[in-house]
Amino acid sequence: MHEMSIALSIVETLEAKAREEGAGRISGIDLVIGKLAGIEPESLKFCFSAAAKGTLVEEAVLVIEEPEGLGECGECGRKFPVSFYYAECPGCRSLRVKIVSGEEFLIQSITIEDQEGE
Ligand SMILES: [Zn+2]
């Protein structure tokens, strides 16, 4: 499953980060997954909780932001929302549409729990 390998690599990245920061637990993760990124957020959440089991990331709360897709017409320059790849320009019907956003997939921020005071 596609989302499972993504979940595993996120867990891996975050664990490395947590160790770097002194082995604190990670309590929250903000992800940005564009609507055109080809990743199913619900499925990713599910895989993530499985992948994170027994790691420093186990209790992290996953927050996913899903920016809409945006296309730009190569003929008339018009920008418009797109919900998938093969979009047609609503202005001139051109198919020369470049996707300008909505494909992003990144870890926006992580929250590391401070272990001081334990
Ligand atoms: Zn156009």
Domain boundaries, the chain: 1-67+102-118, 69-101
Note whether 67 and 83 are within 8 A (CB).
no
Answer CATH for 1-67+102-118 from 3.90.550.10, 3.30.2320.50, 3.30.200.210, 3.40.50.10320 = 3.30.2320.50
Confidence band of 23 (pLDDT split at 50, 70, 90): low
Signed CA dihedral, 37, 54, 25, 46: sign only: positive
pLDDT digits (tens, 9 = 90+) for 32-67: 999 999 999 999 999 999 999 999 899 999 999 999
CA of 69 to the centre of ligand 1 (A): 16
Note whether 22 and 88 are within 8 A (CB).
no
CA of 73 to the centre of ligand 1 (A): 5
pLDDT digits (tens, 9 = 90+) for 84-105: 777 899 999 999 999 999 999 9
Across 24-32, average pLDDT: 91
pLDDT (0 to 100) of residue 108:
94
Note whether 29 and 45 are within 8 A (CB).
no
Q: Which residues surround ligand 1, an ion (CB under 5 A)?
A: 73, 75-76, 78, 89, 91-92, 94
